[in-house]
Amino acid sequence: MPITALPTPPNTGDPANFAPQASALLGALPTFVSEANAMAAAFGPGAPVCTVGGTANAVTLTSGMNISALVAGQRVLFRPAAANTGGATLNLDGRGARTARTITGAALPAGYLRSGVFTEAIYDGTDWIVNRLPERGSNANGDFVRHADGILRCRFNMNTSDTGEVTWSFPALFSTTAGLIIQGTIITALGPATVVLANLTTSGVGVNGYDVGGTRRTRGVNLAAEGPWY
């Protein structure tokens, strides 16, 4: 959005037109300031940190800059007040709700916006593209990291059993088994052994340890899983 040119300024050499030109200039200043603020928000070195309102899935943002129009490339920062439960919209300075999308262009999955965590959004001319910091967590089933591009990585150390298959329940859920990669490595030095993984689901995988003769053995195993979380 270009900045509207200011009208001809008043000139003491033209006293007959001084008053109307001064009035026109003063009248144009509010529009000039609003358009300049919009440009600064879009292309300046920083981005406004917005005040958040609305609901978890219909977020309103107030920049404090009275932005008059959305500009492609405009960037804002905000801390969501609550995690979204599904697809969401952002409405900056009352300029209209626009769909929020992930950096891959997908509608926001539940939990993409995290309460109290700094989040960046860039307007692409149609929608708000939302970037998020990596989300790290852990529980009794291991450690995990969720990335903005949809990749989830999980890790865990556990023991196999000499009596049957043991299930590793992932510390966070994957969205599909398509493209889900699981790796298991023996970490105990009790003779040669092999890890066999079976019965893969989005929530877990069966883990088995065998010696070279095909007998089940109890062995320490390092496990890693990588795949989509949305």
Using one digit for the tens of pLDDT, what is the confidence trace for 39-82? 555 545 568 999 999 999 999 999 999 898 999 999 999 999 99
Same domain flag for 187 and 214:
yes
Domain of 171: which CATH number?
A: 2.60.40.3940
pLDDT at 195 over 60: yes
Residues 127 and 141 placed together within one structural domain of the fold: no
- Can you read off the two tokens belonging to residue 172? 């966070």
Tell whether 91 and 32 lie within a shared domain: yes
The rounded distance, in Å, linking the Cα atoms of 197 and 165 is 9
Residues 128 and 139 in one domain: no
* Nearest-angstrom CA–CA distance, 71 and 194: 57
Average pLDDT of the chain is: 91
Query: Are residue 99 and residue 204 in the same domain, yes or no?
Result: no
Label residue 1 by pLDDT band (50, 70, 90): very low
Nearest CA to 30 out of 13, 6, 9, 56 is that of: 6
Give me the pLDDT at residue 41, please: 52
Number of H helices, E strands in the chain: 1, 15
User: Which of 109, 133, 157 delimits the end of a domain?
Assistant: 133
3-state secondary structure of 84: coil
Span 160-180, average pLDDT: 97
User: Is the domain of 98 the same as that of 185?
Assistant: no
Is residue 86 domain-shared with residue 3, that is, in the same domain?
Answer: yes
Number of structural domains (the chain) is: 2
Q: What is the pLDDT of residue 2?
A: 59
Does position 177 have pLDDT exceeding 60, yes or no? Answer: yes
For residue 3, name the pLDDT band (cuts at 50, 70, 90).
confident
Statement: residue 132 has pLDDT above 60: yes
pLDDT at 192 over 90: no
The domain boundary, picked from 133, 164, 187, lies at 133
**Residues 74 and 64 both lie in one domain:** yes
Residue 12 is predicted with a pLDDT of: 82
Per-residue model confidence as pLDDT tens digits over 120-131? 999 999 999 999
Same domain, 109 and 173: no
E strands within the chain? 51-54, 58-62, 75-78, 89-92, 98-101, 119-123, 128-132, 135-139, 142-146, 151-159, 166-169, 181-186, 193-198, 204-211, 220-228
81 and 112 part of one domain? yes
Domain of residue 174 covers 135-228
Q: Does 42 share its domain with 124?
A: yes
Q: Which of these three, 101, 117, 133, is where a domain ends?
A: 133
User: Which band of pLDDT confidence, cut at 50, 70 and 90, is reported for residue 181?
Assistant: very high
Same domain membership, residue 189 and residue 129:
no
